[in-house]
Structure 1
Amino acid sequence: MTHKDILLVEDNPDDVELTRLAFEEANVANRMVVAGDGAEALDYLFARGKHAGRDASQLPAIVLLDLNLPKLDGREVLQAIRGNPATRDLPVIVLTTSAEPFDVEASYALGVNSYIQKPVDFEQFVWAVRQVGLYWLVLNHPRVA
């Protein structure tokens, strides 16, 4: 069985590494593709820019999206994903340090599937990532286009 990629949209290298380690620890076999800013995430999804050679029909299984990003923030990325018929149904999980009610509400208003505040403690972070992997990559049945 081939595993679809996970797109991690995160500009903090420490958080990228933590997420990699957490997925490894949680035995998630999917390859993780990292976009360091919102513009790169959209280039990856829509196969343009430095990702122009990529098959745009091969969407990731999930997008893990930080909100506070350079170039385009997470809300703008989410808006672009939901605004395009090819990516409209793509599962997007906000994974961010913010628990601000405004961020939570704005994310759901824009169509995020789930909003998770990053736990500070590594063991709790691994637990959270394991739950994300179990639900979105194993239990959830995605809509077939």
Structure 2
Amino acid sequence: MKANRPVHFLLVEDEDAHAELLVRGMERERIHNLVTRVRDGEAALEALRDAAAKGSAALPDVVLLDIHLPKVDGLEVLRVIRESEELSHLPVVMLTASNSAQDRERALELNVSSYLQKPLEFDCFRQMVRDLSLYWTVWNRPPAD
């Protein structure tokens, strides 16, 4: 994440309502960032491979990844990211409704950067999106390029 430019999030989310809440929540904070959304794990891997082929500047700064996705699940997407020389450095935030201890343990084994369970209550979800956006766009200080 470079200073003076928006943070680029790759949102991998199959639920339209969750994706819309997340994007609107980020916009509400008036923090300039870019959200690219794909709806399944296969599309996520394709987007990441295409971006890697274009060079590191084309890669997202943060991947927001659901676990339960069509075609390729989020844990498999995370595994591929972590095993890829071009992608392994990317922060990956598991953003999921899953409360499964097995899902959390597997994500941690695969070196997920963070595991966030989507709150069921709208106001709590909105607060989580606000905090997530502020963390990655304002407070986080990545290594210098």
Q: Is the 8 A contact 2:9 2:63 kept in 1?
A: yes
Decide which of 21, 26, 31 is 1:28's aligned counterpart: 31
What CA deviation, in whole Å up to 9, does each residue of 1:74-114 have, x standing for no partner? 00000011011111110100010011111111101011010
Unaligned runs of 5+ residues in structure 2 are none
Kindly indicate whether the alpha-carbon contact (under 8 Å) linking 1:92 and 1:113 is maintained by their aligned counterparts in 2. yes
1:46–1:56 contact (8 Å) kept in structure 2: no
Q: Report the residue type matching 1:75 in the other structure.
A: L
Q: Report the equivalent of 1:143.
A: 143
| CA distances 1:20-76 after superposition (whole Å, capped 9, x unpaired) | 1111223332111001100101111110xxx79x83422112111000001100000
Cα separation, 2, equivalents of 1:95 and 1:4? 17
Counterpart code for 2:99: A
Quote the Cα distance in structure 2 between the aligned partners of 1:95 and 1:106. Answer: 14
Partner of 1:88: 88
Q: Hey, which bits of structure 1, 4+ residues long, moved more than 3 A?
A: none
- Equivalent AA in structure 2 for residue 108 of structure 1: L
With over 3 angstroms needed to count, the CA separation of the structure-2 counterparts of 1:68 and 1:42, relative to structure 1, is: same
Matching residue within 17, 28, 52 for 2:20: 17
- Residue of structure 1 equivalent to 2:117: 117
Corresponding residue for 1:108?
A: 108
Query: In the superposition, relative to structure 1, how do residues 27 and 120 fare at CA in structure 2: closer, same or farther (>3 Å)?
Result: farther
* 2:44 equivalent to 1:45: no
CA RMSD of aligned residues (A): 1.8
Q: TM (normalized to structure 1)?
A: 0.89
Aligned residues: 141
Q: Cα distance, 1:4 vs. partner? A: 3.2
Q: CA deviation at 1:124?
A: 1.1
For the pair 1:65 / 2:68, whether they are aligned, the reply is no
SS in 1 for 2:54: coil
